[in-house]
Structure 1
Amino acid sequence: MSSITSDLTTRTAKSPRERLARWFFFACAAISIVVTIGIVVVLVLGALKFFRSTGVALGMAPGDTVSLSSYLLEGKWTPGSEPQQFGLLAPLSATVMLMLGSAIIALPLGLAAAIYLSEYASDRMRSFLKPALEILAGVPTVVYGFFALVYITPLLDQLVPLGVGTFNMVSACIVVGIMIIPMVTSISEDAMNAVPDSLRQAGYGLGATKFDVSTTVVVPSAISGIASSYILALSRAIGETMAVAIAAGSQSTVMNPLNPVAYFSPNSPITAQMIQLATGDISAQGAAYHAMFALGLTLFVVTLAMNVVSELISSRYREVYR
């Protein structure tokens, strides 16, 4: 029987149709890899022209380059004024604020929604809520930005006695948190659905309630998938552009991400600063132009590191059920 199956597989693999399909799918996979490599190469080459240690060697004038130490350690980001300053700490602090603020909103709500869909919701309710979450994930980000500017900011201005300006980090964190809830919910629910029902039944057999089973059996058993959803969602948050640029403003200053008062002031993260540089009146050979590539490479490294951490956590704590 095994020899017959082997012969059929070999004969099928040698057919022209199968070979064509194989090469087509290989080409699709190769294109995605080539595009990724191309993006990385463009970012690296542009960033090298930005830094003084390599920019001068590539033909850039000393005035159009920035030292690596000043980029990494200084806290002023003023590419549109003289003297131009390119301190990463300013937009980086805003990016950290955006990540923490959106996490406070999205992570508990997304996990709670996943627990409800996996453990409590009926099939009919689940068939309604799942498409609703997918629609929420499909709303254009620019719509979220205008929603924050027109509705959330005026509401905060009425509720907060400190006073909230037109642009502020709170509104940006709220809308980005709403945007990443579907990602947290979907991945966490898939992880919970992979937990065998035998574990749930064992908990019920010991007299546990549904809440006890959900929180002490299902969630710990799916912790690798839940942690991965958290990190992937936060990676999505720090890469958000239009909603943040509209809600948070264009000014970048170093702020303490752990200070709640700082969130009511405008601040511009890395992605919004890239938009400001791309749409501003800058020279194609100046430091401000090449700063876009340095910021893009920085953001790429940060998100890549977070994805690697997500993969390590998933592989380290993954439970295999048989």
Structure 2
Amino acid sequence: MPHSRDSPIRRDGLAVRKERLYRRLLAGSALLTFLVTVGIVLALIGQTLRFFGAISPIDYLTGTDWSPLIGDPTYGVLPLVSGTLLITFVSAAIALPIGLAIAIYLSEYASNRARSVFKPTLELLAGVPTVIYGYFALVYLTPILDRPLPLSIPIIPTWTPVLPEYTLVVPSLRTFNVLSASIVVGLMIIPMVSSISEDALSAVPDSLRNAAYGVGSTKLDVSTRVVVPAATSGIVSSYVLALSRAIGETMAVTIAAGQSPRMPYFPNVLDNLAQSTETITAAMVNIAQAESRSGVAFESMFALGMTLFVITLIMNVLAEWIRRRYREEYA
């Protein structure tokens, strides 16, 4: 006897076919992502090997001069790596403590109404185009920071009878400089740090908080000595992911920091913040704007991309290892 159109068996068969279709669509999406990643890596490897066929990898990794398009080409990547890491570390020094402080406030202190206002407003920073940050640093931030400069700060008083006096000279900022670029990159990664850290803090069970309150701990003690240590893995992961985001930033640092690759120097450390520099991503943009789409200079762009890929891969693997190593599991 044939089954009716609305019979349970027919409906079950249709549901099974739908589930198979959904599963295949989801698996296809995951496979597409994997294939795109593999394709990008293979393209980078192929062009990078061609570049290293013309330029020694040792000269590339240890050279201190990067000038692929002007005069006698040189391909030392150290100035670009140092500029990238300098901006990353300074922006991290700005964003990481501020982002964690915001996360603690949203998780432990803010009311539901305040959280519903502050968190979306904070995440709007992540939606601002990066080119806007770059122009903001160039047009507004640099003139503001340059107003009180130059000045001298005595490190050792003049009345010291034995030790000589040393003076820390704060130089005047260049139009393109590391400090302004680092500040705007720090502002850009604050939402990532605060959002991921706030999720990690909120995941800590209330039983730990209540136990700390039961022994007389204050709100600050509970937040900083109980909740933050319990969420260490998530917080550190947010730090590493934010650093990876800062390393890969392009337009903001290209506009704010300039395109003058230079090695850092140490007679006056603050000079490095006042000078212009060039990051790996900015150098790639500069090469991509050249007319030639072939030759060693063009292939060097892929070598820079592979260098950046390796740096970010190491940082993401480190973040995953920290997450697994220090992850707390609660029933």
TM-score (norm 2): 0.88
Q: Tell me the equivalent position of 1:288.
A: 297
In structure 2, what is the equivalent of residue 122 of structure 1?
111
After TM superposition, list the pairs within 5 Å mapping 1:241-260 onto structure 2: 241-256=250-265, 259-260=269-270
**1:160 corresponds to 2:161:** no
State how far apart, in whole Å, the 2-side matches of 1:159 and 1:22 are: 62
* Structure 1 counterpart of 2:153: none
Pair 1:270-2:280 in alignment: yes
SS at match of 1:319: coil
The aligned amino acid for 1:153 is: T
Question: Which residue of 2 is the match for residue 189 of structure 1?
Answer: 198
* 1:173-212 equivalence runs, <5 A: 173-212=182-221
> Which protein has the larger Cα radius of gyration, Structure 1 or Structure 2?
2
Q: Contact between 1:149 and 1:246, CA under 8 Å: does it hold in 2?
A: yes
Matches of 1:296 and 1:288 in 2, distance apart? 13
2:183 counterpart of 1:171: no
- Tell me if structure 2 keeps the 8 A contact 1:93–1:256: no
Query: 2:160 corresponds to which residue?
Result: none
**Offset from partner CA, 1:57-112 (integer Å, 9 cap, x none):** xxxxxxxx211110001100011222100101010000110111100100000000
Q: 1:204 to 1:12 in 2, by over 3 A?
A: farther
Q: Distance in 1 between matches of 2:295 and 2:20?
A: 50
Say which of 71, 76, 79 aligns to 2:68: 79
What amino acid sits opposite 1:304 in the alignment? L
Cα drift, residue 232 of structure 1: 0.3
Q: Is the partner of 1:159 in helix, strand or coil?
A: coil
- SS of match in other structure, 2:175: coil
Which of residues 110, 122, 132 is equivalent to 1:133? Answer: 122
- 2:78 is matched with which residue: 70, 89, 92? 89
**CA, structure 1 residues 305+13, in 2 after alignment: closer, same or farther (shift >3 Å)?**
farther
CA distance in 1, matches of 2:246, 2:310: 15
Gaps of at least 5 residues in structure 2 are 1-8, 151-170
Alpha-carbon distance between aligned partners in 2 of 1:25 and 1:204, rounded to the nearest angstrom: 46
Q: CA deviation at 1:242?
A: 0.2
Query: Structure 1: which 5+ runs fail to align?
Result: 1-7, 53-64
Could you tell me which residue of structure 1 aligns to residue 16 of structure 2? Answer: 15
Amino acid paired to 1:76: D
**Number of residue pairs matched by the alignment:** 300
Other-structure match for 2:38: 37
Counterpart position of 1:59: none
CA offset digits 1:15-66 (Å, max 9, x no partner): 21111111111111111111011110111111111012xxxxxxxxxxxx21
CA distance in 2, matches of 1:255, 1:319: 40
Does the 8 A contact of 1:90 with 1:254 survive in 2?
yes
Q: Within 5 Å, give how 1:42-53 maps onto structure 2.
A: 42-52=43-53
Corresponding position of 2:5? none
Q: Which amino acid aligns with 1:97?
A: L
| 2:308 maps to 1:308 | no
Shift of 1:14: 7.2
| 1:299 aligns to 2:308 (yes or no) | yes
Deviation at 1:12, TM superposition (A): 7.0
Paired-residue identity, %: 54
Instruction: Give how far 1:260 is off.
Output: 2.8
In 2, the alpha carbon distance for the partners of 1:98 and 1:315 equals 28
CA RMSD between the two structures: 1.5
1:145 alignment counterpart: 134
Match of 2:56 among 67, 77, 81: 67
Compare 77-86 and 222-231 and name the one that shifted more: 77-86
Does structure 1 residue 234 correspond to structure 2 residue 243?
A: yes
Q: Measure, in 1, the Cα distance between the counterparts of 2:269 and 2:28.
A: 50
Deviation digits for residues 93-136 of structure 1 (CA, Å, limit 9, x no counterpart): 00110111100100000000000000000100000011111211
Deviations 1:215-238 (A, max 9, x none): 000000000000000000000000
More helix by share: 1
